[in-house]
Amino acid sequence: MTRLVTAVAVAAALITTRADAHHSYAAYVEDQTVSIEGTIESVRFANPHVLVTIRTDASEVYTIEWQNLVQLRHGHVGPTTLNAGDRIVVTASPSRDPEAHKLSLVREIRRPADGWRWRRTTRQ
């Protein structure tokens, strides 16, 4: 009986920890999207989310929080799919703080030069 109680307590603690481990998207306006075009400065292909930094023609720098590695690999996106210097158009939800220049909940990324396109198929 003691083992059962201990096992249940450990399982409950693990479930609670996992639920709290992922952040919310409260910092973003989930029901709105913007499209930003720019040139990639960097791609950080690592968990918890792939980060892409782009610079617009107005020299504004945006950080795009994309999906995690597993989701992107299932969508045939790998560490060399996008590279510094690529010109892309990103459609995503903007930050509630416009000065932050951050986007998340990415709906689509296009690379007009060769017609490559990625579209979200699941919630991030």
In a domain, residue 78? The reply is: yes
In a domain, residue 82? The reply is: yes
Between 3 and 88, the higher pLDDT residue: 88
Closest CA to 87 of 119, 52, 121: 52
Q: How many domains is the chain partitioned into structurally?
A: 1
Q: What is the pLDDT of residues 12-53, one digit of tens each?
A: 444 433 333 455 676 787 789 999 999 999 999 998 999 999
In a domain, residue 12? The reply is: no
Q: How many CA atoms lie within 13 A of 96 on its CB side?
A: 7
In a domain, residue 17? The reply is: no
Report the CATH number at residue 59: 2.40.50.140
Structural domain span for residue 96:
28-119
Q: How many CA atoms lie within 13 A of 102 on its CB side?
A: 15
In a domain, residue 64? The reply is: yes
Cβ atoms of 40 and 54 closer than 8 Å? yes
Distance CA 14, CA 12 (A): 5
In a domain, residue 106? The reply is: yes
pLDDT of residue 3: 61
In a domain, residue 67? The reply is: yes
Reported pTM: 0.77
In a domain, residue 15? The reply is: no
